[in-house]
Chain A
């Protein structure tokens, strides 16, 4: 079996604790992401999701283990991995347009000013920001608009991998819904590989091809990889009608409610901790008995 596009191998992160010992956040965590895939990672606070994100972005380095992307090892931040931070991280002294063109100019150093601006405006328009709005400073934009600018900045750079760290965490539910659909739209146009942290189960089902489930820390691990067997294009209102929706949702709720706790605190004993693949598909019951039994086991 060849390596996936993004391969996380035996990642371990320990921190010194107050008592002078060490706390192991996660140990020997391994998973992969294929090119063009949209993967969400779900887990409770403190399980190390953000630490994994920082390692993927190159902003942090793991205690041991490594990450390879497209055959090259990840060491340090790169334009090939775009990041959308939870708090937008727009530069407040620049206009929305300048915040995007700042990134585009960093990516394409040989482009003329006009090319940079046209490219930036194109991506801002993709998230619904046009006209004079793009000349406003972030402080003059609503939270939703700021996050749109941040998403446009990340997509405009066309990185090989896009990392989203709870991008909608600070938004109200209605705004969140709108921007989720915009994110889906821009993603389907660009075929980006996306890795996203979220706390929101419905958001993960709507957006993802696959959801990685993390157990609680310490010794957190990526325990399961749940396939989202709902065809695209998806919309917020239609997916709830799909027969698989509640089955998948129940599975996720059960995991986060009980099993994430039950599975935590177990040292790996040196074994590679790869997630178990879970497929829940009620639309094809005759295809294979395996997903059925899995579903039964979960629903008990």
Chain B
């Protein structure tokens, strides 16, 4: 028997766990009783109607196939394709996220470069950072008076902290030798920032960005459950109200897959900016 590499063995084991898990799940779902086998009393009590139960994986796969084969249909406010819903969520996440990056990275640079700025801003950061982003929602709705913009604001406020702190930490930790190289080459402040400090701090900054995008994707689901209308979070809640657990489980799975892809994108960016000393 040929020996398999570690990654091949790992993949094989993964597939095996999936198959076994799905089989157990499938087998654990009790059969619906056929209406013809019931007594008259049972039928009168509604026993013939299908009971709401956890759907078997085969149903979910059928649902996934159905949804993914036409992800962008739009049949009214409460019936849109999964692609459209995810698109709305991504739009909100990315807008809030990039606004946060535009504030956090320059501000982090300032805090990292200037001990005075650090000491002045640190108390605010420490107080604001532990606040659950959803706690801002009522205030955001009142001030902004727009549910769409409020959701984006919530994403903004939750993704700003890891980027801000990591940028400040990365910039403050740039080796003095490299700054001296910039100084002995008479680089101006902007050239020093872009040619020396930014690349030196980039791995730390991108790590912060990766943490932020993960948090933003976690928060958007909850935020959309609150603001409603569109998005994957609203979709989950809507399908729960419809008692369509197949769709709920399918959308949970989609949330995981999109989150994984966002993380992988930033993982790739991390590899681009990484350097070995």
A190 on the B face (CB < 8 A)? no
Residue total for B at the interface (Cβ-Cβ under 8 A): 19
A106 on the B face (CB < 8 A)? yes
Find residues 175-215 in chain B having any chain A CB closer than 8 Å to their own CB. Answer: 177-178, 180-181, 183-187, 191, 195-196, 199-200, 202
Question: Interface on B for A, CB 8 Å cutoff?
Answer: 177-178, 180-181, 183-187, 191, 195-196, 199-200, 202, 273, 275-277
Q: In the bound complex, do residue B177 and residue A85 qualify as a contact, i.e. CB atoms below 8 Å apart?
A: yes
23 contacts between A and B (CB under 8 A): A59-B180, A59-B183, A79-B184, A79-B185, A79-B186, A85-B180, A85-B181, A87-B177, A89-B177, A89-B180, A89-B181, A91-B200, A92-B276, A93-B199, A93-B200, A93-B275, A102-B185, A102-B195, A103-B185, A137-B276, A138-B277, A139-B275, A139-B277
Q: How far is the CA of A193 from the CA of B202 in the complex (A)?
A: 37
Residues of A within 8 A of B183 (CB): 58-59, 76-77
Q: In the bound complex, do residue A91 and residue B196 qualify as a contact, i.e. CB atoms below 8 Å apart?
A: yes
Residue from A59, A78, A138, A139 in contact with B186 in the complex, judged by beta carbons closer than 8 Å: A78
Find residues 12-68 in chain A having any chain B CB closer than 8 Å to their own CB. Answer: 57-59
Q: In the bound complex, do residue A139 and residue B276 qualify as a contact, i.e. CB atoms below 8 Å apart?
A: yes
Q: Closest Cβ of chain A: how far from B21's Cβ, in Å? A: 43
Instruction: Kindly report which residue of chain A lies nearest to residue B181, judged by CB atoms.
Output: A89
Residues of B within 8 A of A167 (CB): none
A148 on the B face (CB < 8 A)? no
Residues of B within 8 A of A58 (CB): 183-184
Q: How far is the CA of A91 from the CA of B191 in the complex (A)?
A: 14
A10 on the B face (CB < 8 A)? no
Residues of A within 8 A of B177 (CB): 85, 87, 89
Once A137-B275, A137-B276 are accepted as A-B contacts, the answer to whether A89 and B185 lie under 8 Å apart by CB is: no
A83 on the B face (CB < 8 A)? yes
Q: How far is the CA of A106 from the CA of B199 in the complex (A)?
A: 17
Residues of B within 8 A of A217 (CB): none
Q: How far is the CA of A91 from the CA of B184 in the complex (A)?
A: 14
Q: Closest Cβ of chain B: how far from A76's Cβ, in Å? A: 8
Residues of A within 8 A of B200 (CB): 91, 93
Main secondary structure of the interface of B (DSSP, over half): helix
Residues of B within 8 A of A85 (CB): 177, 180-181
Residues of B within 8 A of A89 (CB): 177-178, 180-181
Q: In the bound complex, do residue A83 and residue B184 qualify as a contact, i.e. CB atoms below 8 Å apart?
A: yes
Number of A-B residue pairs with CB-CB distance less than 8 Å in the complex they form: 57
Q: In the bound complex, do residue B275 and residue A92 qualify as a contact, i.e. CB atoms below 8 Å apart?
A: yes
Instruction: Kindly report which residue of chain A lies nearest to residue B273, judged by CB atoms.
Output: A93
Q: Closest Cβ of chain B: how far from A50's Cβ, in Å? A: 12
Q: In the bound complex, do residue A106 and residue B185 qualify as a contact, i.e. CB atoms below 8 Å apart?
A: yes
Residue from B178, B184, B199, B277 in contact with A82 in the complex, judged by beta carbons closer than 8 Å: B184
Instruction: Kindly report which residue of chain A lies nearest to residue B199, judged by CB atoms.
Output: A93
Instruction: Kindly report which residue of chain A lies nearest to residue B277, judged by CB atoms.
Output: A92
Residues of B within 8 A of A76 (CB): 183
Q: How far is the CA of A93 from the CA of B199 in the complex (A)?
A: 7
Q: 0/1 per residue, A88-115, Cβ < 8 Å to B?
A: 0101110000000011001100000000
A221 on the B face (CB < 8 A)? no
Q: In the bound complex, do residue B187 and residue A106 qualify as a contact, i.e. CB atoms below 8 Å apart?
A: yes
Residues of A within 8 A of B199 (CB): 91, 93
A81 on the B face (CB < 8 A)? yes
Other than the given A59-B180, A77-B186, A103-B185, 20 more pairs (CB < 8 A) read A57-B184, A58-B184, A59-B184, A77-B184, A78-B186, A79-B184, A79-B185, A82-B184, A85-B180, A87-B177, A89-B181, A91-B196, A91-B199, A91-B200, A92-B275, A93-B199, A106-B191, A137-B275, A137-B276, A138-B277
Q: How far is the CA of A78 from the CA of B185 in the complex (A)?
A: 7
Instruction: Kindly report which residue of chain B lies nearest to residue A78, judged by CB atoms.
Output: B186
Q: How far is the CA of A138 from the CA of B277 in the complex (A)?
A: 7
What are the 8 tightest A-B residue pairs by CB atom distance, in nearest-first order?
A: A139-B276, A93-B275, A106-B185, A89-B177, A77-B183, A92-B275, A77-B184, A93-B199
Residues of B within 8 A of A82 (CB): 184
Residues of A within 8 A of B276 (CB): 92, 137, 139
Q: 0/1 per residue, A136-164, Cβ < 8 Å to B?
A: 01110000000000000000010000000
Q: In the bound complex, do residue A91 and residue B178 qualify as a contact, i.e. CB atoms below 8 Å apart?
A: yes
Q: Which of B185, B202, B275, B276 has the most CB of A within 10 A?
A: B185
Q: How far is the CA of A215 from the CA of B154 in the complex (A)?
A: 65
Q: How far is the CA of A57 from the CA of B277 in the complex (A)?
A: 25
Instruction: Kindly report which residue of chain B lies nearest to residue A57, judged by CB atoms.
Output: B184
Residues of B within 8 A of A102 (CB): 185, 195
Q: How far is the CA of A77 from the CA of B179 in the complex (A)?
A: 12
Q: How far is the CA of A106 from the CA of B192 in the complex (A)?
A: 11
Instruction: Kindly report which residue of chain B lies nearest to residue A93, judged by CB atoms.
Output: B275
Instruction: Kindly report which residue of chain B lies nearest to residue A80, judged by CB atoms.
Output: B186
Residues of B within 8 A of A106 (CB): 185-187, 191
Q: How far is the CA of A58 from the CA of B181 in the complex (A)?
A: 12
Q: How far is the CA of A107 from the CA of B184 in the complex (A)?
A: 11
